[in-house]
C-alpha cells in the first residue's frame, strides 16, 4: 500500500495521514479518476452493445 501511495501520489502514507491538505488533494484525484473510469466503462459498454 505504501509503494502504491508513493507511486501514484508522490507521498508516503504518513504524509497523507498527517496533512489534511494532502488528504483532500489525494481524495479529489481519486474521485476524478473514479468518475473518468466510470465514463470510459459506459462508453465501452455502449460500443459493445451496438
Tell me how many helices (H) and strands (E) the chain has. 3, 0
Domain extent listing, the chain:
2-48
What was the pLDDT predicted at 19? Answer: 96
Helices 20-48 and 2-9: crossing angle in degrees, nearest 10, is 80
The ranges of the chain with pLDDT < 70 are 50
What was the pLDDT predicted at 1? Answer: 84
What was the pLDDT predicted at 48? Answer: 86
What was the pLDDT predicted at 49? Answer: 77
Amino acid at each position: 500500500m505504501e509503494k502504491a501511495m508513493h507511486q501514484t501520489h508522490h507521498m508516503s502514507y504518513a504524509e497523507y495521514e498527517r496533512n489534511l491538505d494532502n488528504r483532500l488533494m489525494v481524495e479529489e484525484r481519486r474521485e476524478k479518476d473514479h468518475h473518468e473510469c466510470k465514463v470510459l466503462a459506459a462508453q465501452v459498454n455502449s460500443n459493445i452493445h451496438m
